[in-house]
Each structure stands twice: as structure tokens, then as C-alpha cells.
């Protein structure tokens, strides 16, 4: 081995070691992001029951959370340019802490508008944290392995989605018996008050973590040309000239719409079917997502390319959607065959399987959309994070579609255009480098 090769090997080893601690810290943040986000899958049917909400009103719980992305993604990029990625992460968690405290008066008064405001603040904090942490994962290591790093973070994020409904059910719902029917006012009060201590604990934890991140050895990413320039409109215009980015934003919009419908409406649909432990349903979807992430890491790119995996995911989503909409709610064949006697309707199991179809979309689209962005990385990342606003509109359209004769089951038809666009992006959109 020559001296040059030895030095290169040593340098590579040192870089891997220096990146280890930051990646561990960032991994923890992805778990927290997932936990706070996927609590909505349990919170939505829970509030629907205790506040006696219509499907449309219940969908506003998710709408208020995800719509924050639309208004705060680009301002978040500006904040991060001013204070840095590390401080941006700390500010995001501090905002989430404030949201946790807001749930306390909301639960005490049972005022729906206060819950919506708390959700809006929580969504704002998560948007700031997402805008900081996603490009951090992309840029802290080699670009060619970015998809693998994002996939690993995705496993942690969705793994938190498995844990969150379990924790919610254990801490909040476990003390109540037979709450699947109509509730008395005493039961409603008790169920509402049971939210106070868990959200108080979460707020305190997030506050302490924000301080810890602020004082942590997490390195700041190198300053880029865009961080020194105030020509924000020019950067935005330049970013929008990249079709792979713009179409990637749209693809992520439809993806998050499909992801949130699969993860956060399954509990509400289970409640309408009279299924017990409806607050646990999101865990099934998240388990399927984790399985999809692991399979993606094992197969991509060794056996299948990212684009083909994205294509397969979209096709699976289309077939599952058809099965959900036209399936039999009184059939338990799939659950009996796979879960060994667990009585879940086939339609609920198919909704959970959507998690498998959705798993590879984010880690595939994000690096494909940011490819070639260079100095525009943070603006491009902010635009991509705005795609999370699909989580606001997906459940909203699902609830509106649920007013048809097919009810909530028919509402899942809104998934069809979502997977069709993802299929288009996989086949053509990600390859487009010019609008001409």
C-alpha cells in the first residue's frame, strides 16, 4: 500500500469516526420527530370520540398539524441560514415544547379550537426541526450513500410510530373500560384530563432536549454561498427552474397525503367499525413501514434501483387501494392467516400494508430531488419539506370523500391519484433536468 493510499484510508476512517456522534444525535432527533408526528394516529380518533366530532372535524386535527408546513417551511430555511442547523434543531424542539404545554389548557377546557392551535404550534416546531435535520443527514456524509442514511433515519422515525400508539394507549387509554360506545360526561371529562400529565411530561422532556442539543458537540455544517446572500427570491426562482426538484415536491405532497391517510385515519376507521383498541391501529401501519425500510436497505441498489423500487411501491399502493375500497369489512381472512387469530377486518389489514408501499418513497424522492442543487440545498430542502403539507389535505379529502354512499371506506379512493403521480415521478419526473 502506498503512502497516499494509507493516508486516504486513515482520513476516511477519521471522517467516519467524527461523523458517528452527530449521526447518533440526529438519529435520536428522527425518533422524536416520528414519536410526535405519529401520536396523531391515536389522538385523532381519541379526540373524535371525547369531543364528539364529525369525520370532517376530526380531519382538522391533522390539517392544523400539517398545514403549518405550508406557512413555515421557507421561513424555517431563513431562520436556519441565520442561526445555523444546530440552533435550528434546538429552536424546533423548543417550539414543540410550547405546543406540549398548550395541550394542558385544551384538555382542561375541552375546547376544540385550543387543540387545533396546539397542533398548529406542534407542526411549526416539527417543520423547523425537519428543515434542519434532513439536509444535515444528506450533507454530513458522502452524497452517494445519502439514501441509505435517510432510510436508516426513516426506520427510527417509523419505529417511533410503532411505539407512540402503544405509549398513548398505555398511558392514556389503559385506565378506561369499554369506551367504544357512547360516553357519559364523566367518562369524557376523565378521558380528556388523562391527556394532561403525558403532554406535560413530553413538554418538559423536549425542553431539556433542546438545551442538550444547544450544548452538544454537534458540528455546524460548513457555510455555503447561499448563507451569505440575501437574494432569497433569486434562490427560490433558481430552485424552481429544476423540474426534478419541483416535481419531487409534488411527489412528496402526494406521498405524505397517502402516508398520513394510511397511518392516521386507520384508527378512526377502526373506531367506526367498532374495533377495540382503535388507538393502537397506527402501530400496524408503522410496523409495515419499518419492514419496507429494512427491505429497501437490503435490496437497493444491489438488486433493484431506487427508481424501480419507487415504481414498484406506487404499483403496490394502487393495488392495495383497490382492495381497501372494494374489500369486505366483515372478512377476517388476512388477519387470521398472518396474525394468527387476531380479529381485524381485511380492509384494516390492507390499510396497514400501505405502510409497506409507502416506506421507500421519502428516502428515494428526497435525494433524487436534491441532486445537483449545490448551493440551493437548504432552499430545495425547505421546498421539499413543504410537501409534508400533503398530510393536511390527504385526510381532509378523505373525510370529504367519506360522505359518499361508501362511507369512510370509500374515502380511500383519494389514494389513487397519489400513487399515480408517484408512479409518474418514478418513471419520468425524477429524470427531468429542464422544463423544455
pLDDT, tens digit, for every residue of 287-298?
998 888 888 878
Residue ranges, the chain, pLDDT below 70: 1-19, 141-148, 174-181, 220-235, 341, 373-375, 378
Residues sharing a CB contact under 8 Å with residue 371, sequence separation 6 or more, in sequence order = 244
**Domain-located, residue 83:** yes
Q: What is the pLDDT of residue 72?
A: 85
Q: What is the pLDDT of residue 10?
A: 46
**Could you tell me which of 22, 30, 24, 314 has the C-alpha nearest to residue 158?**
30
Q: What is the pLDDT of residue 179?
A: 56
**Domain-located, residue 304:** yes
Angle between helices 55-83 and 112-139 (to 10 degrees): 40
Q: What is the pLDDT of residue 19?
A: 64
Helices (H), 219-280: 232-239, 243-264, 266-272
**Domain-located, residue 225:** no
What CATH number is associated with residue 386? 1.20.1250.20
Dist. CA 328–CA 369, nearest whole Å? 39
Q: What is the pLDDT of residue 232?
A: 56
Report the 10 Å Cβ neighbour count for 116: 17
Q: What is the pLDDT of residue 177?
A: 56
Q: What is the pLDDT of residue 143?
A: 63
**Domain-located, residue 394:** yes
Parent domain of 72:
10-216+232-431
Dist. CA 34–CA 153, nearest whole Å? 10
Dist. CA 134–CA 165, nearest whole Å? 24
Dist. CA 403–CA 171, nearest whole Å? 33
Beta carbons of 342 and 99 less than 8 angstroms apart: no
Beta carbons of 430 and 91 less than 8 angstroms apart: no
**Domain-located, residue 224:** no
What is the pTM for the complete model shown?
0.78
**Domain-located, residue 424:** yes
Beta carbons of 89 and 31 less than 8 angstroms apart: no
**Domain-located, residue 181:** yes
Dist. CA 106–CA 87, nearest whole Å? 29
**Domain-located, residue 291:** yes
Q: How many domains in the chain?
A: 1
Amino acid at each position: 500500500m502506498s503512502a497516499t493510499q494509507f493516508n486516504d484510508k486513515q482520513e476516511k476512517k477519521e471522517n467516519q469516526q467524527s461523523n458517528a456522534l452527530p449521526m447518533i444525535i440526529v438519529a435520536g432527533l428522527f425518533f422524536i420527530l416520528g414519536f410526535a408526528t405519529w401520536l396523531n394516529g391515536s389522538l385523532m380518533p381519541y379526540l373524535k370520540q371525547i369531543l364528539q366530532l364529525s369525520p370532517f372535524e376530526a380531519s382538522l386535527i391533522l390539517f392544523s398539524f400539517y398545514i403549518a408546513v405550508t406557512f413555515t417551511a421557507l421561513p424555517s430555511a431563513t431562520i436556519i441560514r441565520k442561526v445555523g442547523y444546530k440552533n435550528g434543531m434546538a429552536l424546533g424542539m423548543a417550539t414543540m415544547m410550547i405546543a406540549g404545554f398548550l395541550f394542558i389548557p385544551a384538555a382542561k377546557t375541552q375546547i376544540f379550537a385550543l387543540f387545533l392551535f396546539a397542533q398548529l404550534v406542534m407542526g411549526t416546531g416539527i417543520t423547523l426541526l425537519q428543515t434542519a435535520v434532513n439536509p444535515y443527514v444528506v450533507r454530513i456524509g458522502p452524497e452517494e450513500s445519502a439514501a441509505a442514511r435517510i432510510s436508516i433515519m426513516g426506520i427510527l422515525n417509523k419505529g417511533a410510530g410503532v411505539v407512540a400508539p402503544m405509549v398513548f394507549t398505555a398511558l392514556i387509554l389503559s385506565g378506561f373500560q369499554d369506551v367504544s360506545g357512547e360516553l357519559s360526561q364523566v367518562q369524557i371529562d376523565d378521558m380528556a384530563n388523562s391527556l394532561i400529565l403525558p403532554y406535560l411530561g413530553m413538554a418538559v422532556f423536549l425542553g431539556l432536549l433542546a438545551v442538550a442539543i444547544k450544548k452538544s458537540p454537534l458540528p455546524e455544517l460548513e457555510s455555503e454561498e447561499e448563507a451569505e446572500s440575501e437574494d432569497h427570491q433569486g434562490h427560490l426562482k433558481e430552485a424552481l427552474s429544476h423540474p426534478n426538484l419541483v416535481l419531487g415536491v409534488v411527489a412528496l405532497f402526494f406521498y405524505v397525503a397517502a402516508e398520513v391517510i394510511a397511518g392516521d385515519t386507520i384508527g378512526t376507521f377502526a373506531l367506526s367499525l367498532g374495533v377495540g383498541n382503535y388507538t393502537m391501529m397506527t402501530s400496524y401501519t408503522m410496523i409495515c413501514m419499518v419492514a419496507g425500510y429494512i427491505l429497501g436497505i437490503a435490496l437497493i441498489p444491489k438488486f433493484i434501483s431506487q427508481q424501480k423500487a419507487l415504481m414498484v411501491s406506487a404499483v403496490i399502493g394502487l393495488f392495495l387501494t383497490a382492495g381497501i375500497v372494494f374489500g369486505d369489512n366483515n372478512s377476517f381472512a388476512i388477519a387470521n392467516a398472518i396474525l394468527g387469530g387476531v380479529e381485524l377486518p381485511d380492509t384494516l389489514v390492507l390499510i396497514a400494508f400501505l405502510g409497506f408501499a409507502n416506506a421507500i418513497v421519502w428516502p428515494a424522492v428526497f435525494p433524487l430531488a436534491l441532486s445537483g442543487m449545490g448551493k440551493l440545498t437548504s432552499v430545495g430542502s425547505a421546498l421539499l419539506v413543504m410537501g409534508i403539507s400533503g398530510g393536511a389535505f390527504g385526510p381532509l379529502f378523505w373525510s370529504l370523500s367519506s360522505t359518499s354512499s361508501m362511507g369512510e371506506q370509500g374515502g380511500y379512493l383519494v389514494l389513487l391519484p397519489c400513487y399515480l403521480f408517484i408512479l409518474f415521478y418514478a418513471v419520468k419526473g425524477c429524470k427531468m433536468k429542464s422544463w423544455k
